Amino acid sequence: MELTWLGHSCFRLRGKDATLITDPPSPSTGYSLGRLTADIVTISHDHPGHNYIKAVSGEPHVVSGPGEYEISSVLIAGVMTSHDREKGKLLGRNTAYLITMDDVHFCHLGDLGDTLDARALETLTGADVLLIPVGGRHTLDAERAVEVIAQIEPRLIVPMHYATPQYKTTGEPLDPVEKFCHEMGVPIAEPQAKLVITPASLPAETQVALLLPKGG
């Protein structure tokens, strides 16, 4: 299957039976997605940077909360998590998803703001590919992201929700991805346009892969 980063927390997972879009952002974020098509859209929380469903044409199945779903041979398990370090008291709740497509398990953490509790970890354990926010502000910063990675132990890490030339904000800026790479102790790799992922292609040891945002 093919993984493309469209910007912010938005990815396109294109498998043999379905296409899934995560957290489509509104144009106000600076990411211009154009008109997308997908069979499934997942929404982590109801915020303009993550819930711009009108960017996806047709009539996709929209998954916007905890539960277990099977749509077009794609398995999705959503679990409630915290958007902040006060158990959601400051910024509310966030849904993280484990998405199984073409025998690869993807974990999309949305706007996770703290480490995972036992219930969330039980749902998300087994992820091969981790799509994780690293830019701080209202989500995990680099240091806290490394803690979550140690909890999930994925084989491939794809950072998201960090500062890019396209991203626009009226508040505190997000951190650059270089800060996360430094915290992980890994070199800053050349960003790729897309990743083609199969069970056989997954690295034996945990690696970080950077993607170029398509939107913008």
**From first to last of its 216 residues, what are the pLDDT tens digits of the chain?**
999 999 999 999 999 999 999 999 988 888 888 778 999 999 998 777 778 898 898 899 999 999 999 999 999 999 999 654 556 444 557 999 999 999 999 999 998 988 899 999 999 999 999 999 999 878 899 999 999 999 999 999 999 999 888 888 766 788 999 999 999 999 988 999 999 999 999 999 999 999 999 865
Domain residue ranges of the chain, discontinuous segments joined by +: 2-204
- CATH 3.60.15.10 for domain 2-204: yes
Who's near 110: CB < 8 A, 6+ residues apart? 9, 23, 44, 45, 50, 81, 94, 95, 96, 97, 133
CA atoms within 13 A on the CB side of 100: 13
Total-model pTM: 0.93
Side chain identity, residue 143: E
Distance CA 79, CA 167 (A): 28
